[in-house]
Chain A
Amino acid sequence: MTSLPISINRIRKVYGNYIALDDVSLEIRAGEFLTLLGPSGSGKTTLLMALAGFTRPDDGNLRIGERDVTRLAPNRRDIGIVFQNYALFPHMSVLANVEYPLRLRKIRKAEAHERAQAALSRVKLDGYGDRDIAALSGGQRQRVALARAIVFEPRVMLMDEPLSALDKNLREHMQFEIRKLHDDLGITTIYVTHDQREALTMSDRIAVMNAGRIQQIDTPDEIYHRPRTQFVAEFMGEANILPGDAFSEGARPASDMVMIRAESFHLEPPAGETIALTGRLTAKAFRGENWLLQVTTGERQVLFSIPATRAAGCEALTPGSEITAWAARDHLHVFAREAAT
């Protein structure tokens, strides 16, 4: 199955005074798994719905492969979509749901049946074809929605927070399954979520959105360790954002804004070049895999996340005591000046 690249060019959508999409441009490679990540109201779902054809942009171009689809009706775009609450058809059996797109494409009954069975078996639902939708669990419904979206071999897949209705364990399991399905089929996929961990787990690249704009588009590693803006840094996990002179060792000019992740800190200096922060402990919490220490330095609050495996001594710390923590110097990320504000 060949997949196609997607090109989003200066897409704009305004609702009254509210700018939902502010000239968004984005290139997605053929076969790529790209995640749109952002808080609610950031425009990620609007962008997805514009691609799907359910939201008409005010301006701009959407291209799938060589085809300009900006003005194409949703039923002629050949995009497989997995909706947030699955939007399965409750009056049809599982098999009828999966056969539905094939019936619309006038595929012979026998072949449609065969392909629907194959799609169900791909999502590990062999033998579930005759069931009612109402009789399925949340995870099974999710799989039916996936099977229905891939059965007609679309060149592009869109997923709108497909795992948000599942409980945590199932969600983590399905993250791997969806990624594996993507790797097997190679369909270009755009995945919308507000869960940064989900985005990091699944994506080739992540586009972080806020207020109708793309803040940064990069690999998970780059996004996490080298965020371009403070918004990205704070949205992705526990980040400490400080002026450069906050450090007791390895300080930088006060005009530099720097970021260092909470989990970069150690209570003993690691080998190599280091930086250090000193402050007064205000609160501490044990979270299983790590200890979380909240420390006040000057007027700022800093978070240290010390892995449980090297947290000897954390238990004995009392609030109010002065502590120093170290981190490898190359974990310090300096924001580019124009992006730092």
Chain B
Amino acid sequence: MNTPRSAQLMRDARYERIFFLSMSLPAMVLVGIGALIPAAWIIQQSFQTLGGDFTLENYAKLLSSSLTWRALFVTIELSAATLGICIVLGIPLAFALASTPPRIANRLMMLILLPLWTSILVRTYGWLVLLRSDGLVNKTLIGSGIVSEPLPLIYNFTGTLIGMVHYMLPLFVLPTYAAMRDIDANAVRAAASMGASLWHSFWTVILPLSMGGIVSGGTIVFIYTLGFFITPAILGGGKVAPIAIRMERTLSTFQNWGAASALGVLLLVLVAIVAATLFGAMRLLRRHRVGG
């Protein structure tokens, strides 16, 4: 079976694979330098003393500190709350856009792309201006007599949450909208013809059919917010300290690479768990659809 010719041809096929692999290689090397090695280095640092010896002390200190647990809790709380609000606000918006003619929807889409493409710092600054105690929001609330004292909307959890929802909402709406656009309008008409109310067909037809987009949008939101830094750093005003903020503070105040790295690994584990869960959910969703 193994003629000299077949050996030659097998070698040619291998060279060809290497050739195509080498086309992907420059991008892979760059990702290696800029992402893989940095992440690996953080993991390595987390197991080292300042002198470079192996230690588990960083983790021992980290896990015994109440600050860590509070940071972990705030991180998850912020991500979950952001995701929840994005779902509540984003799904109706996506649904409204998907029910308009594409020509008009494309115009309205610009209102979603504008914040998406605007610098996070510009947007954060806008919220600073709006949410201050003498800002537009509080002035309006007081002026209309809803509240008598300005609400504390900034430099706290609320302000951070508003900023994060604002940052993530376009990223949630885009895939959800795309999934809803793909729904066959006749499916909804069929549900209506069988007597389903708008409310009923929204829950039984529209929502299940757009679940793929909702889950991928939700995944983006959750994973992204876990490592958020800019928004809590500015709108949190030092009072909101998720893991990302703790990392920076550990570095800038204590110069403690080991402890900061251990926090980084904690964040990494959190992201991995969430990603694995959500990707698993997506796969299940896909299989469910093929099966059903």
Contact = CB atoms under 8 A, between A and B. Distances in A.
Q: Do chains A and B touch in the complex (CB under 8 A)?
A: yes
Nearest to B8: A71
B16 A70 contact: no
A57 B6 CA distance: 8
B23 to A, nearest CB: 16
B107 interface: no
15 contacts: A12-B6, A56-B12, A56-B13, A56-B16, A58-B6, A58-B9, A58-B10, A59-B5, A60-B5, A61-B5, A70-B5, A70-B9, A71-B8, A71-B9, A71-B12
B3 interface: yes
Interface of A: 12, 56-61, 70-71
A71 B6 CA distance: 11
Interface of B: 3, 5-6, 8-10, 12-13, 16
A62 to B, nearest CB: 11
Contacts of B3: 59
A91 B9 CA distance: 36
A71 B8 CA distance: 9
A278 B5 CA distance: 57
Contacts of B16: 56
Nearest to B16: A56
A60 B10 CA distance: 12
Contacts of B5: 59-61, 70
Contacts of A71: 8-9, 12
Contacts of B12: 56, 71
B13 A59 contact: no
Nearest to A61: B5
A11 B3 CA distance: 12
* Candidate in B3, B9, B12, B13 with the most chain A CB atoms within 10 angstroms: B9
Contacts of A70: 5, 9
Contacts of A56: 9, 12-13, 16
A72 to B, nearest CB: 10
A331 B103 CA distance: 69
A58 B9 CA distance: 6
Contacts of B8: 71
Nearest to B6: A59
A59 B11 CA distance: 12
B17 to A, nearest CB: 11
Nearest to A60: B5
Given A60-B5, A71-B12, 12 more contacts: A12-B6, A56-B12, A56-B13, A58-B9, A59-B3, A59-B5, A59-B6, A59-B9, A61-B5, A70-B5, A70-B9, A71-B9
Contacts of B10: 58
A85 to B, nearest CB: 24
Contacts of A61: 5
Contacts of B6: 12, 58-59
A69 to B, nearest CB: 13
A59 B5 CA distance: 6
Nearest to B12: A71
B261 to A, nearest CB: 46
Nearest to A71: B12
A58 B2 CA distance: 10
Contacts of A58: 6, 9-10
A58 B10 CA distance: 7
A70 B9 CA distance: 9
Contacts of A60: 5
The 10 closest A-B pairs by CB, nearest first: A59-B6, A56-B13, A71-B12, A59-B3, A59-B5, A58-B6, A56-B9, A58-B9, A56-B12, A57-B9
A71 B12 CA distance: 8
A59 B16 CA distance: 16
A70 B5 CA distance: 9
A61 B6 CA distance: 10
A4 B164 CA distance: 71
